[in-house]
Amino acid sequence: MKKYAFVTGGSRGIGLGISKCLAAAGYQIAINGVRDESQVADAINELKSFGGDVLYCQGNIGLESDRLAIVTKIKENFGRLDVLVNNAGVAPKQRLDILETTNESYDHVMDINLKGTFFLTQSIAKLMLSTPDRNDQNPGCIINISSVSANTASINRGEYCMSKAGMSMMTALFATRLAAEGIGVYEVRPGLITTDMTSGAREKYDKLIAEGLTLQPRWGLPEDVGKVVVSMASGQLAYSTGQVVMVDGGLSIPRL
């Protein structure tokens, strides 16, 4: 039986790395992004090269109308969903000290990273629960991609940190609600991952990594996150719902 996965923000960076790992594991993939489909053709073709179906669901998950359209498109094309990966997220457009953070920036980050993700998960969970042939071997799985920023303070992007901390509670809430239904809910916290979003800080963190910021002296790769997601999606952590897995090369380990 075919297995279907949906990765928000799946056309670039960590999301694309996750999508490739899931496609390689045999999943039919739906990805989401705000760009026009023609602008993500390379990503779509790369995912198709693994041999499965690929569905592009354009839209901003921070908007209720777009979320409805996305879920409707998945229902119409796949009929079901086995894995949801909440990866889509934005950073503040401008990094400001928390004493200067604006309402506009706060709302922009929270609407996508937390509010939109929460209500999308609500809709997808209902879809999973309504799937007629859902069973113990294929119960469904939800994976939230947060960040080491969930518990590491950065005072020049406080709204981002709070959105990721909120996602951690969201993980606990959905894990609690869906455990009796057999649906596992997990959180992955990446650290320094090589993507286009982190390219501007490359020189800064190259130096810090060389000085011992991470125990493993390298940047993480999107595929490092993707491999963890596949293990969760495939049921390898079946008795660990609600748990957090760090993918940060040891960055978060307290040291003297």
Question: Where in the sequence numbering do the catalytic residues fall?
Answer: 160
Q: Which of 58, 1, 60, 55 is nearest to 29 (CA)?
A: 55
**Cα dihedral 196, 234, 122, 59 sign:** positive
In three-state secondary structure terms, 13 is helix
How many of the other CB atoms lie within 10 Å of CB of 85? 30
Measured CA to CA, the distance from residue 80 to residue 3 in angstroms comes to 9
d(CA 228, CA 236): 10
**Cα–Cα distance measured from residue 28 to residue 78, given in angstroms and rounded to the nearest whole number:** 9
Which residues, other chains included, contact 26 with Cβ-Cβ below 8 Å and sequence gap of 6+?
3, 52
What residue has token string 């997220």?
89
> What CA–CA distance (Å, rounded) separates 129 from 14?
28
